[in-house]
Chain A
Amino acid sequence: MINSLEINNNLLYYFVYGGKMKEKNKIASILKNERESLGLTLKEVSNKIGFVHYQTLSSIESGKREIKAWELAKLANIYGRNIDFFLWPDERKKETKILWRTPEENTKKESIRRTFLSFCEKYKNLLELSGEKEEKNNELLLSLTKNNLLNRYSFEYVSKIASDYLNLLQLGSRPACSLTKILEEKVGIKTIHLELDPEISGGSTVGDFGMAILINANDAPWRRNYDLAHEFFHLITWNYFSPEEIYKKDKKGKNRIEQLADVFASAFLLPEDELRDEFRKKTEKNYITYLNLVDIAREFSVSIEALLWRLVNLDLIKKDAVIKELEKGSIKDLDRKFRHIYWEGEKPYISARYISLAIKAFQMGKISKAKFAEYAGKKFSEVSSFLKKYGYDENEDYSVAYSIT
């Protein structure tokens, strides 16, 4: 939709100016499209930028008034774009699609999409700037069979894939503990945490920057782990299903691919042998207390619901009892009370690795402090205290190095 509008405007100017569109008018037409695509009015944007009269913006958008660099920088910021998006429109890459966890359209999604993709691009730049090798993840992707993913034994097949990935990635007996780090550093999946509304729990995408996952930083740690594993499934099956297939619901209103992603996440975070072992240890005379169940969920860093359903799938507890208990809610209350403390810690900010790369690039003088602020999503004035928080001292000489024997 956005692309077609841009093309129409370009054509319009082509006829008006009888040839190549003037630079000023090119920027003007993109600015107008950007504002309209976000559903913003001239007045709203004028207020944000600090124009007294909205006519100023209107003149800029119609190409009548020259746009200052500072005005373009502010507008780019408001529209969630890099300034290069307006300066070099011909070099613009194809818009990358995101597979959202919830397909429903939401007015905030376009703005979140831009922020997420912008961090993915920046992540790629930072890897290059700081001289870190981008992981080639192709050999870490197992070959799957689409037919097996869709037949009546697909749940077993997906559980087996989860188990194979656990071994391949050497995630150990408590996969959630190192999942983010392994996916980022070993598989090369860029994992971006943003503070999102509860109805948007995340998504995944594949672009020029590689594979990336968006996680809601506001969610509980165990929910984030689950979402990460769920989205990982979508990435390893990225070339097997179209978005239409993924969102398609059956007669019962259930979504087969999403169910598979849940089965995968569950088997991935709760490895069968380790879970059976832990369950056996905490069982007394054919009973397991709620407290012990909460303890197992905490141990594996998954939600109590995820644990209960995994136990049902492994035939360790009865499905009816779980449905009844989850409806009643007492085990969920107990879980919330006992794990409240684990949720009080600091929320993840973008990605620990991303921030570390940005600090490295800044320290090496590859990016300026103002550029670092942009990379870190901070105001320039906040950068010094932000760097201090991460242990970086601007006055320290970090070029001191050991010689290698």
Chain B
Amino acid sequence: MHIVLLDADVIIDLHRFHIWDQIVDKNKIYISSIILRHEVYFYEDYKGIRHNIDLLKDIGLKFHEISISSEELKKFSQQFDRVFEPELHEGEKEALKILQDNNEILFCTFDKAAIKAMALLGKREQGISLEKLLKSSGIAKKIEFKHTEKYFKKYLDEGSIMRIQGRGIKK
């Protein structure tokens, strides 16, 4: 069982694949407040039909909500070099700040900029691809390229290179 913080696109795709309940059963799930309250509203099936995602009713039951203060958000944002940073939404910043403060949490995302930022912050070991999460949860499901370990690693490497070159983070 992993302790996992989920990004918005992961939550949406877990619903789209109808494996949300399996994932929450097999892992301890955290969702940051901005992602929970700003970003996840519905998913679209292969026919383009929208299905609502109502997560608020399951807070504390299926997953835990986790948030930071606006002052913490500001301090976290100050680490980045504004010229080179991958531009992140407050939701991802909140998630990454939580990741920075909690070494036991893993962050599952397939957002290129968020994966890069994770490596940039020296947190690549705390990143987990959706492919790996499904595998470790014993779920067999046909996945898309963006969910793969290969895709995840590619952007982790880009972020690591930026970190080595001293780009993106203030010295």
CB contacts (< 8 Å) of A125 on chain B: these are 87
Among A73, A366, A385, the residue within 8 A (CB) of B87 is A366
Stretch from A166-174, A198-206, A242-250, A376-384 that touches the partner: A376-384
Q: Complex Cα distance A73/B37, Å?
A: 10
Is A67 engaged at the interface, CB distance under 8 Å to the other chain? yes
CB contacts (< 8 Å) of A88 on chain B: these are 74
CB contacts (< 8 Å) of A67 on chain B: these are 69-70
Among A23, A70, A366, A385, the residue within 8 A (CB) of B86 is A366
The answer to whether A370 and B69 touch (CB under 8 A), given A69-B94, A70-B33, A365-B86, is no
Q: Complex Cα distance A366/B167, Å?
A: 13
Chain B residues within CB distance 8 Å of chain A? 8-9, 12, 32-44, 48, 50, 53, 67-74, 77, 86-94, 111-114, 116, 144-146, 155, 158
Q: Complex Cα distance A394/B147, Å?
A: 11
Q: A368-B88, A370-B39 are in contact. List 4 more A-B contacts (CB 8 A).
A: A70-B34, A73-B38, A129-B87, A370-B8
Is A27 engaged at the interface, CB distance under 8 Å to the other chain? yes
Among A68, A86, A368, A394, the residue within 8 A (CB) of B113 is A368
CB contacts (< 8 Å) of A71 on chain B: these are 70
The answer to whether A73 and B90 touch (CB under 8 A), given A24-B71, A87-B73, A385-B44, is yes
6 contacts between A and B (CB under 8 A): A67-B70, A69-B72, A70-B34, A366-B113, A373-B89, A381-B43
Main secondary structure of the interface of A (DSSP, over half): helix
Interface centre among B50, B53, B71, B114 (most CB of A within 10 A): B71
Q: Min CB distance, A121 to chain B, in Å?
A: 13
CB contacts (< 8 Å) of B144 on chain A: these are 394-395
Interface residues of A in 119-138 (CB under 8 A from B): 125, 129
Q: Complex Cα distance A72/B34, Å?
A: 10
Q: Total A-B pairs in contact (CB under 8 Å)?
A: 125
The number of chain A residues touching the other chain, given as a range, is 35 or more
Q: Min CB distance, A272 to chain B, in Å?
A: 48
CB contacts (< 8 Å) of B53 on chain A: these are 381
Could you tell me if B69 and A68 are in contact, using CB atoms closer than 8 angstroms?
yes
Could you tell me if B8 and A69 are in contact, using CB atoms closer than 8 angstroms?
no
Is A371 engaged at the interface, CB distance under 8 Å to the other chain? yes
Q: Complex Cα distance A103/B109, Å?
A: 48
Q: Min CB distance, A194 to chain B, in Å?
A: 22
Q: Min CB distance, B144 to chain A, in Å?
A: 5
CB-nearest residue of chain A to B9: A369
Interface centre among A71, A73, A129, A397 (most CB of B within 10 A): A73
Is A66 engaged at the interface, CB distance under 8 Å to the other chain? yes
Could you tell me if A23 and B34 are in contact, using CB atoms closer than 8 angstroms?
no
Is A276 engaged at the interface, CB distance under 8 Å to the other chain? no
Could you tell me if A68 and B68 are in contact, using CB atoms closer than 8 angstroms?
yes
Among A68, A371, A380, A395, the residue within 8 A (CB) of B146 is A395
CB-nearest residue of chain B to A84: B77
Among A66, A77, A381, A394, the residue within 8 A (CB) of B69 is A66
Could you tell me if A371 and B48 are in contact, using CB atoms closer than 8 angstroms?
no
Q: Min CB distance, A152 to chain B, in Å?
A: 53
CB-nearest residue of chain B to A385: B44
The answer to whether A27 and B70 touch (CB under 8 A), given A69-B34, A365-B112, A369-B111, is yes
